[in-house]
Amino acid sequence: GINAEYGPEKASGLRKEASITMYYFFTYTFSALSVVCGIIYYLSREQTGKTEQENDPLFKRFQTNYLIIFVIAMGADWLQGPYVYALYEYYGFGKQEIAELFVVGFLSSMVFGTIVGGLADKYGRKKMCIAFSIFYSISCLTKLSRNYWVLMVGRLLSGVATSLLFSSFESWMVHEHFRRNFTPDSLSGTFSLSIFCNGLVAIVSGLVASYVADSFGYVAPFMVSLGCLVTVMLLVMSTWVENHGDSQILATQTFGNAINDLKADKKIPILGFVQSLFEGAMYTFVFMWTPALSAQTKDLLPFGIIFACFMVCIMIGSSLFRIFLRSYSVEEIVTAMLLLASISLFVPCFTPDPYILTASFLSFELCCGIYFPAVGTLRGKILPENTRSTIMNFFRVPLNFLVVVVLLKVKYLENTTVFFLCGVWLCVSFVLSIWLRSLLQVKAISANSDLLLQDDLKKESHVDA
């Protein structure tokens, strides 16, 4: 190692020098990305302009209300993320016990998430958004205990809450968007803005979590998160109306109808696998970027600044999506994004160079920024309204399965092997996106043909008259 080659004192000096170099590198990178982000955001608003819908006061009020609540909910989630592992370690749990707690969270999301998705369609999306706040609040309170089984209950509840966060809020918004006769184009704008704001709130939440953890201890970020969750609950209760899938049928029928919808329209399961494979790679990346970049110098890298760089790239991606949408279809954007994402995660298989790895990771995060509004728009177009929440949670089953398998096996695998698997998942997702695009094009051609036929029939009827 470096000690053997240079001796302890020189090795220590080299580490400090490397630490300073990497600190400045990532600080300059963050500064440059922030400038680029500002420029791209300005261009996305200036170049694309605002649709007539986006100037509508009713739409602006609806969009602003949703974004405020969604951003606070995501902030509550971001506040907890950096300190879950650290808190468990502080309480004296070993790696095996901590891994068990994490796995239970993902398994809970995989199993119970599907059930609550059906309940959201049956009993109401607003109710499930309130339930999200309650479940996640109780999960935060369990962090005050050092008891393993109390913490395990917290992980179970957080798994359910996570499924609700990533399905019920979107399902409520999409339903209300179309119920109020807003246009599909403005839906894409809402998704794009939500991801941009999510990146911003992630950076702010990371800074807040770091400050309160340093000042009051590792449990403090969870108490701040609790305050955000109570705020979300009160805002949802006071400002949202209820909406459902089909409230007239039994909850068990909702699952049956969702399965029938999956069988009846092949676009739905294809989109589901595109989503599961991409997000499986994304969540795996969350575990892998730190050891991949740090190698033998883990404690020398400015992880907070690196995380901020990633979030800025997500914000850039969400703005680029708005720009690309003026020239390309959503399906074309998704296909190109998946190709770039797969290339980005294959890069670590071929080089350990930290600067090249950084470029590839930033590229992948940019793809994440494009992915969320793009796939959200596709879900809005493809998923049936009556079973939207149920199907969205079905999509999370293979996603959570992939992440659980990686969590259980990651200590036995080389970093390059894990990244290779992620690259393969993204390649499969890329191929599926091409298939999905062809099916959507066929549907569009068929719809145009039907319109032309109707026009011809109308003309013939006028001639006959």
Cα distances from 215 to residues 87, 88, 198, 209, 221, in angstroms, run 14, 18, 25, 10, 10
List of residues 6+ apart from 390 with CB closer than 8 A? 114, 117, 118, 120, 121, 245, 254, 255, 257, 258
Return the exposure string of 347-382: e unless at least 16 CB atoms fall within 10 Å of the residue's CB, then b.
bbbeeeebeebbebbbbbbbbbbbbbbbbbbbbbbb
Specify burial of residue 85 (Cβ count, 10 A radius: 0-12, 13-18, 19+).
middle
User: What's this model's pTM, rounded to 2 decimal places?
Assistant: 0.79
Burial tier of 432 (Cβ tally within 10 Å: 0-12, 13-18, 19+): buried
* Residue 365 pLDDT: 96
Q: Residue-wise over 293-316: b if at least 16 C-beta within 10 A, else e?
A: bbeeeeebbbbbbbbbbbbbbbbb
How far, CA to CA in Å, does 431 sit from each of 12, 296, 342, 348, 349? Answer: 48, 37, 11, 22, 21
Length of the chain: 465
Residues 6+ apart with CB under 8 A from 416: 348, 349
pLDDT for residue 14? 44
H, E, C per residue of 303-340: HHHHHHHHHHHHHHHHHHHHHHCCCCCHHHHHHHHHHH
Using an 8 Å Cβ cutoff, are 154 and 142 in contact? yes
Closest to 137 measured CA to CA, from 107, 112, 165, 111: 165
Cα separation, 209 vs 219, whole angstroms: 10
Q: Give the single-character DSSP code of 410.
A: G
Helix, strand, coil shares, percent, the chain, to 5 = 90, 0, 10
Q: Residue 325 in contact with residue 193, Cβ under 8 Å? A: no
Structure letter (DSSP) for residue 383: S
Low-confidence ranges of the chain (pLDDT < 70): 1-19, 47-54, 246-252, 295-300, 443-465
Looking at 49-123, list the stretches that DSSP marks H as alpha helix, in order from N- to C-terminal side. Answer: 57-80, 84-90, 95-123
Is residue 154 within 8 A of residue 138, CB to CB? The reply is yes
| Residue 414: C-alpha distances to residues 33, 296, 417, 453 (Å) | 31, 15, 5, 59
Beta strand segments in 200-280, E: none
Beta-carbon contacts of residue 38 (< 8 Å; ≥ 6 apart): none
Could you count the other beta carbons within 10 Å of the beta carbon of residue 288? 21
